[in-house]
Amino acid sequence: QLVFVPLQHLNNKAMGGSASKPPPPQPKTPPPSPTFREPWRKISWSNKEEDLENVKNYQPGNPKVKQLRIMLYGPVGAGKSSFISSVNSMMIGRPGYSAAAGSTTNDTSFTKNYQTHKIQKEGRENFYPFVFNDIMGLEEGGGVRVEDIKLALQGRVSEGYTFNPVSALSETDPNYKSSPSVDDRVHLLVCVCSANASEIKEPVLQKMKEVREIANALGIPQVAIVTKIDEACGETEKSLKNIYHSKYVKKKMTDFSSRLGIPLNCIFPVKNYSSEISLDDDVDSLILSALRLMINFGDDFINKM
């Protein structure tokens, strides 16, 4: 008589009567590092005083130009006014008030007028030979008109002019300058965007591209600054010195470069002063890194005028 023994029983007997053990768990692959081992851009964190002195000693290369004019534009809440105030604080060596800034949660621009911001040296009526122009932010269906930005680039907008989202400045308006001087013209255009903002809406992005094309036609050099970089990712929250090690920051800047057409080496991440009541060397170093090249590019332009 044949007796059938279950295969499992035979296997158990062959292995000493114990059940087979499951294979050991495979070690989990660690997640990729959020940082590069080497920084993808060099910055001199320890040369702040030397870099600051170079900026303070700047004089326009063209004797016909008394002041280098830098104009900022970008979406609402990007940090244009805050950047101007941060530069002012760094230059005077203490937190200072220059350009009034609105809340980043607002959907409408805080800045309404065409404003020139000067940075005071020691002593009254003594200013550094570079100025910043702040304009109304770009909005979907509103904000500053591209036509007005073109006029401002040409130096045709008077100080204090109130931007009208409905109609551009006309030649018959008393705020229109028919014969702008070389000092009235913009010598460098700066696009300002926030690192932690959601994607720029297509209508706003289109306006930004139009502004860029106008500046190109006028031969005006252009750079971009990416603000609120300390809020961009965990690595930059830990330390600003991680900025050029962060893979996220590089991707953010690369995406911005491809969408707007500004070369990566003309885009600078910065942190504006906001809640601080004293200056920070790392914050200053990033601002200085951007400001030095802004001045260099602008000076190259005025030397050709």
Q: pLDDT tier at 103 (50, 70, 90 boundaries)?
A: very low
Residue 15, φ and ψ in degrees, nearest 5: -105, 25
CB 72, CB 101: distance < 8 Å: no
Q: pLDDT tier at 200 (50, 70, 90 boundaries)?
A: confident
pLDDT tens-digit readout, 108-158:
555 688 999 999 998 777 999 999 999 988 988 888 899 999 999 999 999
pTM of the entire predicted model: 0.86
Q: pLDDT tier at 91 (50, 70, 90 boundaries)?
A: very high
Instruction: Collect contacts of 180-184 with beta carbons under 8 A, ≥24 apart.
Output: 180/154, 180/155, 180/156, 181/155, 182/62, 182/64, 182/65, 182/302, 182/305, 183/65, 183/66, 183/67, 183/69, 183/155, 184/69, 184/155, 184/156
The encoded tokens of residue 252 equal 């953010």
pLDDT at 16 over 70: no
Residue 224, φ and ψ in degrees, nearest 5: -135, 150
The CATH code that applies to domain 47-302 is: 3.40.50.300
pLDDT tens-digit readout, 234-247:
999 999 999 999 99
Position with higher pLDDT, 161 vs 27 = 161
Domain locations in the chain as residue ranges? 47-302
pLDDT tens-digit readout, 207-222:
999 999 999 999 999 9
What's the whole-number average pLDDT of the chain? 89
Give the list of residues 6+ apart from residue 255 with CB closer than 8 angstroms, or none: none
Q: What is the pLDDT of residue 105?
A: 46
pLDDT at 305 over 50: yes
Q: What is the pLDDT of residue 1?
A: 54
CB 160, CB 177: distance < 8 Å: no
Helix 146-153 / helix 202-218 crossing angle, nearest 10 deg = 20
Position with higher pLDDT, 174 vs 142 = 174
